[in-house]
Amino acid sequence: MKKLRVMSVFGTRPEAIKMCPLALELNAREEFESLVCVTAQHREMLDSVLDTFSVRPDYDLNIMEPQQTLATITGKILRQLGDVLQDAKPDVVLVHGDTTTTFAGALAAFYEKIPVGHVEAGLRTYDRWSPFPEEMNRCMVGRIAQYHFAPTAQNRANLEREAVSGSIFVTGNTVIDAMKYTVNDRPFACEALNGVDFGGKVIAMTCHRRENYGEPMENIFSAVAELARAFPDVRIVYPVHLSPVVQRAARAHLEGIPNILLTEPLDAMDMHKLMARSYMVMTDSGGIQEEAPSLGKPVLVLRRETERPEAVSAGTVALAGTERAAIVRMASELLTDSAKYEAMARAVNPYGDGSACARIADALTWGFGLSDAAPADFVPQK
């Protein structure tokens, strides 16, 4: 039987966490020949995920450089990936989400006239500047792709409104599949975390987004410093993203405050365990908004908008914005008002049931005529 040659292209930490389980699923199925090409838009943060999932890339473009810009990342990927695609000749290229790797990867495949499958398709804020440049990346990849793997029914509706061409499947998010590998009871690999008393209230936080650079990030960090001083018994754990902009701002505002622990980026297992053991989460991350609700942890989103409204509707995620006073007020309420806390701390799974990768693989075999039936849509359990 001729195998379907699938190349997964990804480059940053979140793409890797969400694509490695899919690469493993494709690898395990005899209908597929699975190839992985990493751009290495991220280096250490990507390699940590590849190690966690024991995924060995077939191609590594190794493009990361200090002070990289959106233009340099895009240009390098376009130039190098074209050669890889000509060499590997995949039947389909899979890209994930909304990063510069996603957009440049899809465009490079289009230039080679290779069909593109977009994993995590259809998320929208309808604000081209927020998240920047991710919202535009998603829209552009939506035009290029022929297979759209939408995590939720709402994501599919967004794509239908835009009349994208090709086939749309509602699959759930592969991040929930990833958590089957990562969440466990073992000690942390990061030694500093083994010293944290999770019997007390611990807040897991992250903050890294480009649209928060500058004043919004300053506001967020001064809110976090104020919270730490107001609640000396609460421990705040913040693994700081390697972006030099984030490193500088975080260290300037938060270093030296006794109940704030700043760490290196955590490997995915540690991060997921940290959230599972924490009282609540504060973040501007996309992926964490999907993970924490499935762990029953309230999330305050440090952004003005979200492309992930499902958990907001379910009541476990709230938008705190980027103003200092509002962040302090909302976090203080969750720390002191147990009724409010209990109302948010419910495990919900609007983003997946752990079978997204299987649905994507089934959709591909159907799309390429190797099977008769398309997979049934993911439907969240109430």
| Binding region for ligand UD1 (CB under 6 A) | 12-14, 41-45, 66, 68, 70, 98-100, 133-134, 208, 210, 241-244
Provide the phi-psi class of 67: left if phi over 0, else alpha when psi is between -120 and 50, else beta.
left
Residue 66: which of ligand UDP, ligand UD1, none does it interact with, CB under 5 to 8 A by kind?
ligand UD1
Q: What would the two tokens of residue 94 be? A: 């899979």
Q: Cβ closer to ligand UD1: 71 or 339?
A: 71
Q: Which does 242 bind (CB under 5 to 8 A by kind): ligand UDP, ligand UD1, none?
A: ligand UD1
# binding residues, ligand UDP (CB under 6 A): 16
Could you say whether residue 265 binds ligand UDP (CB under 6 A)?
A: yes
- Residue 345, token pair as written in the block: 């701390």
| Cβ neighbours of residue 105 closer than 8 Å, sequence gap 6 or more | 9, 10, 11, 39, 77, 81, 93, 95
Helices (H), 183-267: 191-194, 215-230, 244-254
Q: Cis before residue 216, ω within 30 degrees of 0?
A: no
Q: Is 208 tagged catalytic?
A: yes
Question: Which one from 134, 267, 290, 362 is the annotated catalytic residue?
Answer: 134
- Extract the runs of DSSP E, i.e. beta strands, from the chain: 4-10, 32-38, 59-60, 92-96, 116-119, 147-150, 167-170, 202-206, 235-239, 260-263, 280-283, 299-301, 317-319
Given a contact cutoff of 8 angstroms between Cβ atoms, the answer to whether 378 and 170 are in contact is yes
Pick the stretch among 76-84, 109-117, 262-270, 372-380 that binds ligand UDP (CB under 6 A).
262-270
Catalytic residue among 13, 42, 208, 209: 208
Q: Are 331 and 320 in contact (CB under 8 A)?
A: yes
The correct pick among 38, 145, 203, 271 for binding ligand UDP (CB under 6 A) is 271
Q: Is 233 a catalytic residue?
A: no
90 binds ligand UDP (CB under 6 A): no
How many residues comprise the chain? 382
| Residue span binding ligand UDP (CB under 6 A) among the ranges 75-83, 219-227, 266-274, 304-312 | 266-274
Where do contacts with ligand UDP occur on this chain (CB under 6 A)? 13-14, 17, 206, 208, 239, 265-266, 268, 271-272, 285-288, 291
Q: Which residues are catalytic?
A: 98, 120, 134, 208, 210, 241
